[in-house]
């Protein structure tokens, strides 16, 4: 089922929470709404579920216009942040609740509950109560309860936020597996960048009720639309610069740290003021064919699989760098030659 939002706005009193949102989510897509607290992503999810109605704009599931349609007539399954399991019902009874409301015949209900529990690998826990389950197991039950009604659209509201780090990693894999098996159009709200990058087919990054960028995880990470997106989706170094030439191999950008070759940027022209951005992991140790700097190590943080450096570069700026699987001990105050490959740079107008 494809989901379409067309110029949707939502106000709570005098506060505009969603501002002219237009979005197309493809059939069977695992789509993420990502952004900081207060950006409007949960409001947007609840509007799709039918808990809120838009003050302007239109919402469609396929060709069906849903403005004014109540939640129980939309055939959506929703998984809440707090799981919302009934403590007095066992696992199978919790999963079957939506079927009971729909008055599904008993034989069919048993088959569908068994099928849903099999999808989330919880068949052997059918008779247990929720308080006998771990957080990850409760999350699986909540997923099964949403899947058992065979929804057209599955809505997930920060489903992993209550789990510890190890369980979150395990449940990421489970959610991807479940989606690949069911192929239900799924809309997932989170503020966790790693969840979105590792799971999403596409994502929308939101800020203050607006969508800043839509794209695949790789597109958003490697070609952010502006500084907000770049900094929200991961760490980023910035150098102020001026475009001095636009050549076939790329842009020549002059900064206080020296001259850089960067990828072509549509609409760029000489004398344009820009931000030159690059990720810490894009800083490679040693000489490169272009964009080489002789830096001084200002700080070192050893994390086992990676070592993080703060480097002081020519012109006095400080940037972050990462070295995977570090072997050599490097200490503050020592020089370090580094480079950034042109394809790992991105250029944004200074106003972005």
Domain-ending residue, one of 230, 251, 269:
230
How many distinct structural domains can be found in the chain?
A: 2
253-272 pLDDT, tens digit per residue, is 999 999 999 998 766 667 78
Report the pLDDT value the prediction gives residue 269, as an integer from 0 to 100. Answer: 66
Q: Which helix (H) or strand (E) holds 335?
A: strand 335-340
Over residues 110-150, the pLDDT tens digits come to 999 999 999 999 999 999 999 999 888 998 999 999 999 99
Q: Are 251 and 225 found together in one domain?
A: no
Where residue 222 sits, what CATH number does that domain have? 3.40.50.300
Last residue of a domain, one of 196, 230, 264: 230
85: which residues sit within 8 A by CB, 6+ positions away?
A: 94, 130, 138, 141, 142, 145
* 259 and 151 belong to one structural domain: no
Domain that holds residue 171: 3-230
Can you give the pLDDT at residue 311? 97
- pLDDT recorded at residue 267: 62
Are 181 and 321 in the same domain? no
- Of 181, 215, 230, which residue constitutes the final position of a domain? 230
- Between helix 135-147 and helix 91-101 the angle, nearest 10°, is 20
pLDDT at 105: 92
Which two three-digit tokens encode residue 96?
């079957």
Which residues in the chain come in under a pLDDT of 70? 266-269, 352
Does residue 50 sit in the same domain as residue 138? yes
Distance CA 61, CA 178 (A): 22
**Is the torsion defined by CA of 114, 118, 124, 129 positive or negative?**
negative
234-252: pLDDT as tens digits: 999 999 999 999 888 889 9
Residues 94, 204 within the same domain: yes
209 and 270 inside one domain: no
Going by C-alpha positions, the residue among 71, 220, 229 that lies closest to residue 155 is: 71
How many CB atoms are located within 10 Å of the residue 254 CB? 14
Q: Are residues 217 and 254 in the same domain?
A: no
Statement to judge: residues 271 and 323 lie in one domain: yes
pLDDT at 107: 92
Whether residue 208 is found in the same domain as residue 63: yes
Same domain, 181 and 266: no
Sort 102 into a burial class: Cβ within 10 Å, 0-12 / 13-18 / 19+. exposed
Give CA–CA dist 29/185, Å, rounded: 5
Is 102 in the same domain as 77? yes
* Together in a domain, 240 and 316: yes
């Amino acid at each position: 089922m494809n989901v379409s939002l067309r110029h949707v706005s939502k106000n709570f009193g005098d506060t505009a929470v969603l501002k002219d949102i237009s979005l197309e989510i493809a059939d069977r897509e695992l789509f993420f709404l990502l952004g900081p607290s207060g950006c409007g992503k949960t409001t947007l999810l609840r509007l799709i579920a039918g808990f809120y109605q838009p003050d302007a704009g239109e919402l469609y599931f396929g060709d069906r216009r849903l403005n004014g349609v109540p939640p129980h007539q939309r055939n959506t399954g929703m998984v809440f942040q707090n799981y919302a399991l009934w403590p007095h019902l066992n696992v199978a009874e919790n999963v079957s609740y939506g079927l009971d409301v729909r008055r599904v015949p008993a034989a069919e209900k048993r088959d569908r509950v068994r099928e849903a529990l099999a999808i989330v690998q919880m068949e052997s826990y059918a008779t247990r109560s929720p308080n006998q389950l771990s957080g990850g197991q409760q999350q699986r039950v909540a997923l099964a309860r949403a899947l058992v009604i065979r929804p057209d659209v599955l809505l997930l509201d920060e489903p992993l936020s209550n789990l510890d780090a190890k369980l979150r990693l395990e449940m990421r894999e489970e959610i991807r597996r479940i989606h690949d098996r069911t192929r239900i159009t799924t809309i997932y709200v989170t503020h966790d960048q790693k969840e979105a990058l590792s799971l999403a087919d596409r994502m929308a990054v939101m800020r203050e009720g607006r969508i800043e960028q839509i794209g695949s995880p790789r597109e958003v990470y490697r070609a952010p639309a502006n500084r907000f997106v770049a900094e929200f989706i991961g760490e980023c170094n910035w150098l102020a610069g001026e475009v001095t030439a636009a050549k076939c191999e790329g842009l020549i950008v002059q900064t206080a740290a020296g001259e850089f070759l960067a990828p072509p940027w549509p609409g760029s022209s000489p004398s344009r003021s820009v931000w030159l951005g690059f990720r810490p992991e894009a800083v490679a140790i040693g000489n490169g064919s272009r964009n080489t700097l002789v830096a001084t190590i200002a700080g070192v943080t050893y994390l086992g699989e990676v070592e993080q450096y703060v480097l002081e570069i020519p012109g006095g700026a400080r940037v972050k760098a990462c070295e995977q699987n570090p072997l050599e001990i490097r200490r503050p105050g020592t020089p370090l030659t580094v480079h950034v490959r042109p394809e790992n740079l991105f250029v944004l107008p200074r106003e972005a």
